[in-house]
Chain A
Amino acid sequence: MTIAVTKVRVEDKLYQNRYLVDSGRPHIIVRPHDKPSANLLALTYVCPAKCYELNDKGQVEITADGCMECGTCRILCEKGGDIEWNYPRGGFGVLFKFG
């Protein structure tokens, strides 16, 4: 229950931000896995935009639309091969008004 409340809150926060979503071309992809690594699992808590979520099969999924491009997931999970990480194409992604 606590997690659900936090999730709504983060979504509310992201609602303040401007994004230009590159539909159908997510810039981060989670590699298929049976069981998430510790770091990948940590992202379901640590991603500041709550892009990472656990599905009912216990695997981690990503919805990168609200991504603030901080790079935390890259630091934790690129090396181990959990994710494939890129910046969005030029012009797409988050557009900070204040930054």
Chain B
Amino acid sequence: MIEQFDAIVVGAGMSGNAAAYTLASQGLKVLQLERGEYPGSKNVQGAIMYANMLEKIIPDFRDDAPLERHLVEQRLWVMDDTSHTGIHYRSDDFNEAKPNRYTIIRAQFDKWFSRKVREAGATVLCETTATELVRDGNGKVIGVRTDRAGGVVFANVVVLAEGVSGLLGTRAGLREMPKPETVALAVKEMHFLPEEVIGQRFGVKGDEGCVIEAVGTISRSMAGLGFLYTNKESISLGIGCLVSDFAATMESPSALLDAMKNHPSIRPLIAGSEVKEYAAHLIPEGGYRAIPQLFGDGWVIVGDAAQLNNAIHREGSNLAMTSGRVAAEAIIKVKSRNGPMTKANLALYKTMLDDSFVIKDLKKYKDMPALLHTNSSNFFDSYPRLMSHAAQNFMRVDGTPKIEKEKNTTAAFINARSRWGLVSDAVRLALAWR
């Protein structure tokens, strides 16, 4: 018996669940494939979840979604070997009735999201790896081959929500494999501590949470970012750097993470914790210029598989959820006017996504990835060291006249980078940001 679906969604991460939920809740016959034992068992994220993007899919998610802490404070630390210079933003305004963002634990959150998808009417098939797209004589995608015996399933449209390293799109030539300079490898540990201890150490009470993101010498001249996210009874702690930089420096990611944990600014925050998991994941960092063709005859690509990640603002899952929802809405529109799932009709997905914050934000930072990639030793090593020296020079009172201190600081910057280098870095950064 050949079963025909309206849509097959490959993957049960943020984008796949958003797509499957939206499609199924509008009455489409949806099959979702997930290679893990349960949805979430293969998924890794920091993780921060932005409420607005989920609200657009499941407005009352706060009633039963597994949320850890809502965030009231964000710290950005620029680090050298012994110090951090920080910008902290904290506001009681974030203690609102419907908080703006939360920390989550993906394995638990994804199980919940998947339950919603099933309740909406989709069929979710786990422990099933989709291995190949099936096409008809004209090249239109008509289904998916799986690793189950006789495992070919058919649908009018396939939503590729298979993640950054998905097999289907790359094997079928719909998208290129990401290049080493357009993906970051992040490693993460889960550090467990009693709830009150986390509250005390991060200066938060109840369900309030705090985020620390750190750049500087912890990434050893590679383009990278470290993070500590407070969950209820654990801290997600990790660091990610471009794969091309890892390959060039031959740094060990786990050693890098251990060194970060030993940094004098971080060590006291996790002292005495019990580590219960070590995870690794790739993060798409290529930005706007790395976005592949997003639609074709019988298929659309969403989420990380489409490189939809805003590395500058560290937003990934909200772009994933939004692209999944928008793709589903486009499919629903095409179906509602009895249109076939052709390339021409599915172009609607791209039009709708272009009109959303997803593409607008990525376009804004289109030159940022290349700038950080080519300039990593300045931005992630020289400048952080200079900043620390300048701060320390300013704060130590040792009888040196202030005018001399200022001269020393200026000289240090010029020695390290030259006047021309400083101006050029500033201009390039400003242009890429604009």
Chain A residues in contact with chain B, CB under 8 A? Answer: 6, 9-10, 13-14, 16-17, 20, 38-39, 42, 45-46, 48-50, 68-72, 74-76, 78-79, 86-91, 93-99
Q: In the assembled complex, how far is the CB of residue B156 from the closest CB belonging to chain A, in whole angstroms?
A: 24
The answer to whether residues A96 and B279 also contact, given A9-B254, A70-B185, A90-B128 and a CB cut-off of 8 A, is yes
Complex: how many Å from CA A32 to CA B108?
Answer: 41
Q: Residue B371 at the A interface, CB < 8 A?
A: no
Cβ-neighbour of B247 out of A76, A88, A97, A98 (below 8 A)? A76
- Category for how many chain B residues contact A: 35 or more
Q: In the assembled complex, how far is the CB of residue A51 from the closest CB belonging to chain B, in whole angstroms?
A: 11
Please name 17 further chain A to chain B contacts, defined as beta carbons within 8 Å, in addition to the given A75-B183, A96-B41, sorted by A numbering. Answer: A16-B276, A46-B251, A49-B280, A50-B254, A68-B281, A70-B281, A71-B164, A74-B165, A90-B126, A91-B36, A93-B42, A94-B42, A95-B41, A96-B279, A99-B41, A99-B43, A99-B110
The number of A-B residue pairs with CB atoms under 8 Å apart is 141
Q: A72 and B185: CB pair below 8 A?
A: yes
| A-B pairs with beta carbons under 8 Å apart, 20 shown | A9-B255, A13-B189, A16-B275, A39-B247, A46-B185, A48-B253, A50-B254, A68-B279, A70-B282, A71-B165, A72-B185, A75-B178, A88-B35, A89-B147, A91-B126, A94-B41, A98-B107, A98-B236, A99-B40, A99-B47
Cβ-neighbour of A48 out of B35, B129, B187, B247 (below 8 A)? B187
Q: Residue B53 at the A interface, CB < 8 A?
A: no
Q: B128 and A13: CB pair below 8 A?
A: no
The answer to whether residues A98 and B185 also contact, given A72-B282, A90-B147 and a CB cut-off of 8 A, is no
Q: Residue B146 at the A interface, CB < 8 A?
A: yes
| Nearest 9 interchain pairs by C-beta | A71-B165, A91-B127, A13-B278, A48-B280, A99-B106, A70-B280, A90-B127, A99-B107, A45-B250
Complex: how many Å from CA A74 to CA B146?
Answer: 20
Q: Residue B258 at the A interface, CB < 8 A?
A: yes
Complex: how many Å from CA A79 to CA B171?
Answer: 12
Q: In the assembled complex, how far is the CB of residue A72 from the closest CB belonging to chain B, in whole angstroms?
A: 5
Q: Residue B23 at the A interface, CB < 8 A?
A: no
Q: In the assembled complex, how far is the CB of residue B98 from the closest CB belonging to chain A, in whole angstroms?
A: 25
Q: B253 and A96: CB pair below 8 A?
A: no
Q: A98 and B190: CB pair below 8 A?
A: yes
Residues of A within 8 A of B35 (CB): 87-88, 90-91
